[in-house]
Amino acid sequence: MQDTSAIDIDLSAIDHNMSAIRRVTGDGCALCPIVKADAYGLGVARVARRLVSAGAEMLAVYSLRQAIETAAALNGGTPILVLMPVADLPREDEILRLMLAGQLHLVVHDEANLATLNACAASLGVTLPVHLEIDVGMSRGGALPDEASRILRAIALGGNLSLRGIFAHFSNSRSDEARTTRQHETYELVLAANRRFIPDGIFEHVASTYALARDARYHRSMVRFGLAWLGYGLDELEASAAVLSRTDLRPVVRWTSRVVQAKSVPAGTSVGYGGRWTAERASTIALVPVGYADGYPTPRLPAATGGQCVALHAPDGRLVYAPVVGAINMDQITVDVTEFHTGFCTVDPHEWIGSEVELVSRDVHALNHLPRIAAQSGLIVHEFLTRLNPRITRTVSLGGTGISADVVASTRPSIEAVRVNAAAG
């Protein structure tokens, strides 16, 4: 079967990002990359091994099933933290093996969850490593401070649970420094009030990607991050004195396809469902076999915010940006290459067929940089990544190169021109 597109994962970029994070956290702070949702859709089997080889001391997932899949990819006994409230521990061989090895770390979210995990561990004859989540304002999982204090006392009194970590999750460390400070203070107050119940050497972790980059005081003894190992997230960080910036990281993902058809249309021709874009001049339209079923996003924000672009290898070898025009289809998009067709091609638009199309670039300055496309479509980066269809071929590279904005600067249409095209379609 012929694939219509491929997502390339740059393993050397993962190494680079882990090294960059290690530099700002120091050797005394453990690294816990998050690999839930099949490593954000990139394949936990390949990614987990790379992260561990790059220095991860722990990996975090959401569910028990994800923990089994992640452990199967690892050769060693790297601990795996399951973030969801677990109400039952099935007597599956894989789960029992992880528990007996002490590799499975679970989270205590409240007193009912504490009792359930204690009973499950007792029935299985194991001691479970657990982390307590303190709800400092996210109001999602975790125990409020008073309940968290009671849980710490109960674990210290004995049972089948071994406290290995205490953590919190900030609700807006991307842009609200004051709120993040208050939530961090709440976390510290709970720890200070219960120090006699907390063993030495446990993992204290509050920093996701944004908090990790914002301030070293949030690093504590472990950082728990997702987007940072992927090379994303810091485009949006609002912090004047961040310890980590987007230029310190390298994006991991590049998504490519090829032109499968190209045609000339006269001025006044409408393109796509609803005729949302109409050619103002004789135009050359290229067809790319990728659409929303593959995870290519449909714009939801006003067209004035800017239009989606792809980068192409033009028939004369130049690297150019061209706007996506018309509606995004289930399995295809249309691209206006008129500006780059005139002057160097013959009158036959078929010269474009087979040209490589870069849907997502690793270049942080590119118009098709993943966070930029996500924002134009009203998505966050996490959502864009996890919407990429699993059927798309994943490839890996070492030091893979994308289309460089520096190379295409002379052939790139202006951002304003792109917006005009997008506004029409």
Region at 301 (left for phi over 0; alpha for psi -120 to 50; beta for the rest): beta
31 contacts 25 by C-beta, under 8 angstroms = yes
Nearest to 315 by CA among 259, 263, 275, 374: 259
Q: Which of 188, 205, 237 is the last residue of a domain?
A: 237
On whether both 116 and 186 belong to a single domain, the answer is: yes
**pLDDT value at residue 251:** 97
Residue 306 banded pLDDT, cuts 50, 70, 90: very low
Asked whether residue 242 is domain-assigned, the answer is no
- Stretch 164-176: mean pLDDT, rounded? 95
Nearest to 255 by CA among 21, 3, 52: 3
91: tokens are: 């007597």
pLDDT cut 90: percent of the chain above it: 78
Residue 239: pLDDT above 80? no
On whether both 59 and 157 belong to a single domain, the answer is: yes
Which are the contacts of 171, defined by CB distance < 8 A and separation ≥ 6?
Answer: 137, 138, 139, 179, 183
Residue 324 banded pLDDT, cuts 50, 70, 90: very high
190 contacts 145 by C-beta, under 8 angstroms = yes
180 contacts 140 by C-beta, under 8 angstroms = no
**pLDDT value at residue 271:** 95
Quick: pLDDT tens for 42-94: 999 999 999 999 999 999 999 999 999 999 999 778 999 999 999 888 888 89
On whether both 223 and 287 belong to a single domain, the answer is: no
Asked whether residue 1 is domain-assigned, the answer is no
On whether both 165 and 309 belong to a single domain, the answer is: no
Residue 155: Cβ within 10 Å count: 21
Residue 323: pLDDT above 60? yes
**Residue 7: phi, psi to the nearest 5?**
-110, 120
On whether both 138 and 96 belong to a single domain, the answer is: yes
Residue 414 banded pLDDT, cuts 50, 70, 90: very low
Quick: pLDDT tens for 106-137: 999 999 999 999 999 999 889 999 999 999 99
On whether both 232 and 261 belong to a single domain, the answer is: no
Quick: pLDDT tens for 352-375: 999 999 999 999 999 999 999 999
On whether both 257 and 402 belong to a single domain, the answer is: yes
On whether both 350 and 406 belong to a single domain, the answer is: yes
Quick: pLDDT tens for 269-294: 999 999 989 999 999 999 999 999 99
Domain count, the chain: 2
Asked whether residue 95 is domain-assigned, the answer is yes
Residue 413: pLDDT above 90? no
CA distances for 276 relative to 279, 306, 326, angstroms: 10, 16, 6
**pLDDT value at residue 417:** 38
Distance CA 218, CA 169 (A): 11
DSSP 414: P
Asked whether residue 170 is domain-assigned, the answer is yes
109 contacts 143 by C-beta, under 8 angstroms = yes
Distance CA 425, CA 419 (A): 10
Give the SS3 label for residue 385: helix
On whether both 319 and 362 belong to a single domain, the answer is: yes
196: tokens are: 């006699």
Q: Which of 212, 237, 262 is the last residue of a domain?
A: 237
On whether both 229 and 257 belong to a single domain, the answer is: no
69: tokens are: 């899949």
Asked whether residue 271 is domain-assigned, the answer is yes
Which are the contacts of 395, defined by CB distance < 8 A and separation ≥ 6?
Answer: 6, 7, 8, 9
Asked whether residue 5 is domain-assigned, the answer is no
Half-sphere CA count of 218, side-chain side, radius 13 A: 28
On whether both 200 and 319 belong to a single domain, the answer is: no
35 contacts 62 by C-beta, under 8 angstroms = no
CATH of the domain at 314: 2.40.37.10
Asked whether residue 2 is domain-assigned, the answer is no
Residue 155: pLDDT above 90? yes
Nearest to 253 by CA among 418, 47, 69, 72: 47
On whether both 258 and 202 belong to a single domain, the answer is: no
Asked whether residue 248 is domain-assigned, the answer is no
Angle at 71 between CA 382 and CA 219, to 5 degrees: 55
The mean predicted confidence, pLDDT, of the chain is 90
212 contacts 228 by C-beta, under 8 angstroms = yes
**pLDDT value at residue 43:** 95
Q: Which of 178, 203, 237 is the last residue of a domain?
A: 237
Distance CA 229, CA 210 (A): 12
- Stretch 285-307: mean pLDDT, rounded? 80
Quick: pLDDT tens for 242-252: 899 989 999 99
CATH of the domain at 38: 3.20.20.10
Residues of the domain holding 387:
253-424
